[in-house]
Amino acid sequence: MLVLQQANAEFTAKDCRDLGFIKSQLFCSSCDTLGEYGLDELKDHCQECCQKDVESTGKLMVYPKAVLEVCTCKFGAYPQIQAFIKSDRPQKFPNLTIKYVRGLDPIVKLMDEAGNVKETLSITKWNTDTVQEFFETRLTKITDDDNYLLTNRV
């Protein structure tokens, strides 16, 4: 007698790449649309490689902190990310940290209050406006009461 037991484990980034998916760029909502294109056979693997982009209520997850990580050596390849970082746009997000990591393509890490990484997203294909819009929708808004001293600089 042969008994097969299915394990419900998430695939690694390498497993997903071997299947043709880029784990850091794949949202689960994209997997839900595969049937519309006659690609139902890919759905199970897609679900194992995707990142949750929507809560069960249909509302986007909002996080209290984020880190944008990039290497300055990559600014030539990603001028839109350089434009965002060098502009005044990051100042609009006091809960956003820019971190320079040698050799790294641009990514965003979304974190909980304790600083635990909850989501990691590649932003290599995003334009400057998309980066700003993402932070406007996915980062917790800091109220003026919390930040009044920052606006009173001399």
CATH architecture of 65-145: 3-Layer(aba) Sandwich (3.40)
Q: Domain ranges in the chain?
A: 13-49, 65-145
Burial 136-147 (b: 16+ CB within 10 A, else e): eebbeeeeeeee
pLDDT at position 6 is: 43
- Identity of the residue numbered 115: G
Residues 6+ positions from 124 with CB-CB distance below 8 Å = 78, 105, 106
pLDDT higher than 80, residue 109: yes
Q: For residue range 22-49, what is the model confidence (pLDDT) as tens digits?
A: 887 787 878 888 888 888 898 888 888 8
Q: For residue range 75-103, what is the model confidence (pLDDT) as tens digits?
A: 999 999 999 999 999 999 999 999 999 99
State the pTM of this model.
Answer: 0.59
Residue 19 pLDDT grade (very low, low, confident, very high; cuts 50, 70, 90):
confident
